[in-house]
């Protein structure tokens, strides 16, 4: 595998490796801290146990030596007429006892302390001990000098040992045990056996700590192997997850595209429906005008047919564009008289329909001095016509009256178009604002018509969206007495 590919693989799993390293370092640090705490605890426990064991071992050793001396002396008795051979054997036995204790690994010093009046003699060989006990000799100066510390401690502990007749241990340097065992011959306290012992069990502690270090090393090795296994497994899982996410994203994109296409098709279908409905009505007017064409009304018919044709052309153009270019809606080249557009709609569209059906009446109150607007006149037609048609469709009365009026406020330079009717009004829930601040009446697919009607809820939506693109606002409200009012606000 090339170096470049290795680098790509590392970058691919860099996130997992980085975090796995953090976990490993954290676990290693925790294990190290726990190991140090356990070592300290073990040393403390072993130290306490070792101190007790050392004291017990030193006292047992000194007690055993003292017992051996006592048994040996009791077997000889108080005889002073020993033969040279018996004396030599006894001295040899004393030497063996001294030598056996001194040869022990932890024993540093051993002697027998004998009281002779106010003096204390320390002996550490069989001949000197035989001389003190059987020959009453006091020539042990050399021994006394070697065991001066033992004699000093014995004198300090003398009253306590004389009264308690128990083993006494004095610890010096926190590790050395100075043990004194009372020496009693024929019921008489003659002194004590002194053993200076420094037991050493550090090798036991070292061995346990070494075993614990090995266990910790094995534990860390197992953790490392586990983390490496987790790394490879997680890397594989992450790779599979990324691939699944990529497939899911692609599938989601395709689904969104299908949904967008479906929505466009639905919007296109609605546009065709509304275009067909409007074009059919206007084409009927064209046919009617052509049927009544004479030499005397040719100019009038030509004017109306031209308007009708241009309107049909406009709505077909809007049908082709989901979002028409802004310059086709408003531009400085347009100079449209709003009153003229509304007057044409009233006279040539709605009144022609009313004369045929007789179901409503419509009037128009023109405001004076209404300034022209830079809006395509057929866009204004597409804004006003659906709102008037909404009042006709939802009026719900046989004597429906619709009143359109325009007004201009010179101070605020605002023009308004009002469309009122005396019908049953708008359902209150449609006048509530949606979460985006738009009244539900002006949302797409919202209508009060029965659900059996298809392609409804589009007229007010078209009027609202067209007005918004013109920079106008459209509002709706119910009137106090009856009916409703649509208000179009134009900032000149």
Establish if 270 belongs to a structural domain. no
Tens digit of pLDDT for each residue in 242-288? 888 899 999 999 999 888 877 777 766 666 666 666 777 777 777 87
Residue 250 falls inside a structural domain: no
pLDDT digits (tens, 9 = 90+) for 30-44: 777 877 777 777 667
pLDDT of residue 454: 44
pLDDT score for 406: 93
Pick from 154, 182, 200: which residue ends a domain?
200
Domains in the chain: how many in total? Answer: 2
381: in domain = yes
Does a structural domain hold residue 31? Answer: yes
Query: Which one of 184, 200, 216 terminates a domain?
Result: 200
The β-bridge partners of 409 are 414
| Full strand arrangement of the beta sheet holding 119-123 | 119-123, 107-116, 188-197, 176-185, 168-172
Give a yes or no: residue 274 inside a domain: no
Percent of the chain with pLDDT over 70: 77
Query: Domain check: are 328 and 460 in the same one?
Result: yes
- Model confidence over 94-130: pLDDT tens digits? 777 777 766 676 777 888 888 877 788 888 877 877 7
User: Residue 456's pLDDT is what?
Assistant: 47
Q: What is the mean pLDDT of residues 374-383?
A: 87
Residue 475: the pLDDT is 93
Per the listing, tokens 């010096």 go with 172
User: What's the pTM value of the predicted model, to 2 decimals?
Assistant: 0.48
Question: Which CATH number do you get for residue 486?
Answer: 3.30.565.10
Strand partners, 111: 194
Confidence of residue 357 (pLDDT cuts 50, 70, 90): low
312 within a domain of the structure (yes/no): no
Which residues are CB-contacts of 274 (< 8 A; sequence separation ≥ 6)? 315, 455, 458, 459, 462
Domain that holds residue 194: 10-200
Tell whether 477 is covered by a domain: yes
pLDDT digits (tens, 9 = 90+) for 445-478: 655 554 433 444 577 888 888 888 888 999 999 9
Last residue of one domain, picked from the residues 164, 180, 200: 200
- Phi then psi for residue 397, to 5 deg, are -135, 150
The rounded distance, in Å, linking the Cα atoms of 241 and 77 is 98
Top-confidence residue, 308 or 363? 363
> 407: exposed, middle or buried (C-beta count within 10 Å: 0-12, 13-18, 19+)?
middle
Q: Is residue 103 part of a domain?
A: yes
194 and 327 housed in the same domain: no
Q: Which of 318, 223, 237 is nearest to 278 (CA)?
A: 318
């Amino acid at each position: 595998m090339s170096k470049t590919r290795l680098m790509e693989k590392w970058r691919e799993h860099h996130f997992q490796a980085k975090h796995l390293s953090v976990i490993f370092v954290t676990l290693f640090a925790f294990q190290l801290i726990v190991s140090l705490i356990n070592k300290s605890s073990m040393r403390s426990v072993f130290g306490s146990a070792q101190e007790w064991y050392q004291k017990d071992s030193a006292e047992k050793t000194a007690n055993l030596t003292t017992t051996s001396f006592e048994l040996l002396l009791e077997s000889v008795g108080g005889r002073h007429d020993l033969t040279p051979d018996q004396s030599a054997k006894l001295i040899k036995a004393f030497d063996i006892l001294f030598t056996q204790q001194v040869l022990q690994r932890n024993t540093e010093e051993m002697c027998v302390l004998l009281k002779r009046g106010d003096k204390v003699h320390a002996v550490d060989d069989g001949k000197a001990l035989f001389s003190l006990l059987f020959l009453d000799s006091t020539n042990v100066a050399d021994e006394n000098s070697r065991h001066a510390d033992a004699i000093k401690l014995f004198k300090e502990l003398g009253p306590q040992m004389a009264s308690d007749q128990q083993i006494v241990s004095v610890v010096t340097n926190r590790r050395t045990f100075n043990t004194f065992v009372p020496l009693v011959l024929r019921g008489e306290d003659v002194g004590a056996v002194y053993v200076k012992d420094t037991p050493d069990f550090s090798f036991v502690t070292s061995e346990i700590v070494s075993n614990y270090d090995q266990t910790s090393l094995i534990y860390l090795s197992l953790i490392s192997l586990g983390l490496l296994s987790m790394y490879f497994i997680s890397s594989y899982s992450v790779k599979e997850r990324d691939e699944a996410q990529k497939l899911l994203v692609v599938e989601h994109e395709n689904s969104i595209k299908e949904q967008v296409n479906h929505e466009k098709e639905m919007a296109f279908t609605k546009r065709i429906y509304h275009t067909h409905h409007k074009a059919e009505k206007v084409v009927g007017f064209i046919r009617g005008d052509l049927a009544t064409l004479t030499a005397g009304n040719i100019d009038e018919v030509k004017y109306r047919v031209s308007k009708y044709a241009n309107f049909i052309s406009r709505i077909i153009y809007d049908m082709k564009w989901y979002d028409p270019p802004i310059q086709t809606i408003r531009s400085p080249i347009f100079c449209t008289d709003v009153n003229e557009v509304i007057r044409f709609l009233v006279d040539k569209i709605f009144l022609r329909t009313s004369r045929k059906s007789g179901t409503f009446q419509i009037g128009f109150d023109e405001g004076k001095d209404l300034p022209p607007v830079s809006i395509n006149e057929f866009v204004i037609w597409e804004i006003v016509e659906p709102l008037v048609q909404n009042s006709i469709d939802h009026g719900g009365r046989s004597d429906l009256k619709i009143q359109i009026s325009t007004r201009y406020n010179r101070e605020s330079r605002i023009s308004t178009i009002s469309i009122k009717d005396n019908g049953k009004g708008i359902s209150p829930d449609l006048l509530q604002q949606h979460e985006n601040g738009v009244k539900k009446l002006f949302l797409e697919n919202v209508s009060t018509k029965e659900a059996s009607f298809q392609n409804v809820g589009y007229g007010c939506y078209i009027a609202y969206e067209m007005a918004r693109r013109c920079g106008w606002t459209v509002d709706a409200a119910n009137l106090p007495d009856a009916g409703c009012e649509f208000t179009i606000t134009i900032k000149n």
